[in-house]
Amino acid sequence: MNKGLLFIISGFSGAGKGTIVEAFLERNLDVKLSISATTRECRECEIEGVHYNYISRESFENMIKNGDMFEYATYVGNYYGTPKSFVMKELEKGNDVILEIEMQGALQVKEMYDDAIMIFVVPPHAKDLKDRLLNRGTEGIDIINNRLKRSYEETELMLNYDYLLVNDQLDDAIKSLEGIRCAEKIKYKRFLYLKDKFKEELKEIID
């Protein structure tokens, strides 16, 4: 059996990658979503194991020490990271896994797992980012500007991605993601062993 595929989905803040991933998972129930771990407290609106796995600082630091984190970062004094064990276990079982993760972390994972398929989500126009962030209404203009500045600084990192998913119509974006999955599954590099199998089989049936 072939291993599962690891899809890394990144995108500028406000590009709508969360919405795409959620809708994709609803239609592709056999795909697993990797949940990040964090040391920050669970907010009232959040659910353990859905938004994050909330773990102690000690556990997190132990996982770092043991190489059990694919990537991690600190933000406002808390750790955020991607535990390796869940991802690797599912891939070994033949299940495809999605990582929704920012660019710096994505590149760290790619470095450790070169087979990862890198997908970058963009809106049709950059101004859509600002509109969406403003419409969310959860952040002030200063934070929004910081997010946009970070996007600006990170554009060069787009070069590390395999696919560009333009989030114009949600349904089209999901179909594109399904197309990527379908195509990646039949990449010849995943079936190199079939060449020799066919050669053997052909040899046997030639009279």
Closer Cβ to its own copies, 88 or 166, answer by number: 166
Q: Please list, in sequence order, all residues whose beta carbon lies within 8 angstroms of the beta carbon of residue 171, skipping any fewer than 6 positions away.
A: none
Burial of 174 (0-12, 13-18, 19+ CB in 10 A): buried
- Hey, which residues between 182 and 201 contact its own copies (CB under 8 A)? 182-184, 186-188, 191-192, 194-196, 198-199, 201
- Hey, which residues between 90 and 129 contact its own copies (CB under 8 A)? 120, 122, 125-127, 129
Tokens of 147: 């997010």
Q: How far is the CB of 148 from its own copies (least distance, A)?
A: 5
Alpha carbons 164 and 172: distance in angstroms, whole number: 13
Residue of 108, 190, 107, 94 lying closest to 156 (CA atoms)? 107
**The only residue of 115, 152, 169, 171 in contact with its own copies, by rule CB under 8 A:** 152
170 is a site residue for its own copies (CB under 8 A): no
205 is a site residue for its own copies (CB under 8 A): yes
Q: How far is the CB of 137 from its own copies (least distance, A)?
A: 17
